[in-house]
Structure 1
């Protein structure tokens, strides 16, 4: 069985992180999986995957991922594989068009990674969206919330969907060693309380609230942002406007997330909504308290284990950060609950569920 994963490019988002973690596992279990990128820009995650030398990586060039020429470039690959697994828009559109234009009988599957699909609210695009989903043999949803949203949007039969929750590499996080805090920045000292926020800078995230919360915290509280993206510059400008340059550091994309988590005292994720909080699970597994905004995709995942703050409320966030630092018993209780919850999301379990799905699709294709 040969499977081709297709994604726009290898950014530092959750979907890309999952492929980075799972492709080596599939191949170690004798499931042949390769990767096709619409744009093969040599980003940090891609460099790591290349170094692992566990699969063939194809690039369609350096065109915009929205260029429809990708449809025709994908077509030759449909003859080489048994199943194509698409991730993110517009890859999921180009895969369908490639199948239709080539009259290929290949089985195609898509993973829906987000609960905030902006196409749902556009009258004309939502109609196209529903048409496109019809051609996928399976739509994998990463949470039950995502399942309900996409099912309502597409009006497809429930048999079209599979809910497979994301997983993390628990061993990598458990075995990670912290950095000396001064290795992160010369601005930091051993007496500082280090906060970490790991996420792409995009309209779906809300790093501004975390930045503003720093005005309500003592001077020994420091913050590192890990990630890159379109809104990074405006958040750097907000940091300068609030005169917080000595307290906030932007590290950009990093591939050493487990070590950074082990170095920090508290992990935060401020978001406008999540499909599945992969960072949330990694943070909860790392042995430090986790605080997240009370939004869809995080509320159910974090509630009862980590701490939730009111979306956009920097005062509420600052108050809960200080409570974790000042109340030792409370902090230990949160850490223990987080670690227990994280154990439910072992990446090995997720991979086995995907393999079961692939085999069922492959067997049906062979039979037909």
Structure 2
């Protein structure tokens, strides 16, 4: 049985970490070990009986020590820092007959141009065996896309539908009009989200929104919600290991990101029949269209869609059904597992 080490830069529990859990739960023919600093992820891993090797921080020397001692068959490095560090240890890993798999979970704007990060990752690609990207946009928009294309496999995220529906019904909540499941950080453009809700409030004064997430801009956004007189409209509930009841008890999903890799929360919302209102970034155009919501860079277009969805029951029902159908079609778990097996150099059954 192959031993796969999942290398991550932080102890947080967010999009990439969620994907790692899905991989571990779906790919049962290998031994998975999660390697990262301590943090909220530790509780999640313990709950799911996943082995966690805790390190003080992700560094060359910490990673080298673990790899030399544990001798993993696959070093699955998640995102740029972990991938670059793993490539520096390629001689050690390859000498032990291991392989390096780099996994890019987001479409980072820093690698769309010549930068230190884009150059370092280009060099690391010379030593990486396979690269998994969350959407084709990650390949196309990388400044050195020719290098990446040679080793890249597209691995769009998937969701275990029965599991999230079960989690969604674990506790009851008040009903919301909109759910916003996003880290409170610059890439998610939280100020734009607040601006859109303020515009919607002009038409629907009693609009109710739940905001699930935490991040470095949290204090600033709380102040902005108060200053914009939206405290009765936006409920910031913080980070939740189980955000699904909030999605389940909302009518619409919204995402205002400046950039995205795939948009896992969007897929999860769609699987629960929620129309989506979002910006057209990363892998979102593959998920969302005019049949199941709207994609636009124009705030006025996004606002009109929200108002119509919440005001016209037939319009809402039509897009709700289309959203679930689209997500179900895209949520191909068998293809996901086959791609993983190719990346891990496992003989396909």
Per the normalisation by structure 2, the TM-score is: 0.88
Distance in structure 1 (CA, Å) of the matches to 2:13 and 2:93: 32
Please state whether the residue corresponding to 2:165 is helix, strand or coil.
Answer: helix
For residues 68 and 22 of structure 2, what CA distance do their matches in structure 1 show? 27
- Match of 2:186, SS state, is coil
**Among 35, 43, 46, which residue is 2:42 paired with?**
46
The unaligned stretches of length 5 or more in structure 1 are: 183-189, 364-368
Distance (whole Å) between structure 1 residues aligned to residue 295 and residue 51 of structure 2: 43
Aligned twin of 2:177: 194
Deviations 1:92-129 (A, max 9, x none): 11111123467734210111112224144244443222
- Where does residue 55 of structure 2 map in the other structure? 60
- Paired position in structure 1 for 2:157: 166
Contact 2:139 2:148 in 1 (8 A): no
Residue of 227, 247, 252 corresponding to 1:266: 252
Q: What corresponds to 1:134 in structure 2? A: 126
- Is the contact between residue 285 and residue 295 of structure 2 (CA under 8 Å) also seen in structure 1? no
1:254 corresponds to which residue?
A: 240
Q: Which moved more, 1:323-332 or 1:6-15?
A: 6-15
Which of 123, 137, 143 in structure 2 is aligned with 1:145?
Answer: 137
TM-superposed CA distance for 1:318, in Å, is 2.5
Q: Contact between 1:113 and 1:275, CA under 8 Å: does it hold in 2?
A: yes
- Secondary structure of 1:221's counterpart equals coil
For 1:129 and 1:158, locate their aligned partners in 2 and report how far apart those are by CA, in whole Å: 13
Shift of 1:69: 4.0
Tell me the alpha carbon deviations over residues 229-279 of structure 1, each in whole angstroms, 9 at most, x when there is no partner: 122222112111112122212112112222221111211111112110111
Is structure 2 residue 81 aligned with structure 1 residue 90?
yes
C-alpha deviation, 1:215, in angstroms: 2.2
- What is the rounded CA distance, in whole Å, between the counterparts of 1:110 and 1:157 in structure 2? 11
Aligned residue number for residue 186 of structure 1: none
Distance 2:292 2:113 in 1: 31
Q: Which structure 2 residues correspond to residues 165-314 of structure 1 after superposition, within 5 A?
A: 165-175=156-166, 176-177=168-169, 179-182=171-174, 193-216=176-199, 217=201, 218-311=204-297, 313=299
Superposition deviation, residue 342 in structure 1? 1.0
Query: CA separation in 2, counterparts of 1:323 and 1:299?
Result: 21
Kept after mapping to 2: 8 A contact 1:74/1:98: no
Aligned residues: 342
CA-to-partner distance for each residue in 1:274-312, whole Å, 9 max, x for gaps? Answer: 110111110111122221113332223212443225336
Equivalent residue number for residue 303 of structure 2: 318
2:6 is matched with: 5
TM-score by length of 1: 0.84
Residue 115 (str. 1) matches residue 107 (str. 2): yes
**Separation in 2 of the partners of 1:200 and 1:266?**
18
Could you say which residue in structure 1 is the equivalent of 2:30? 31
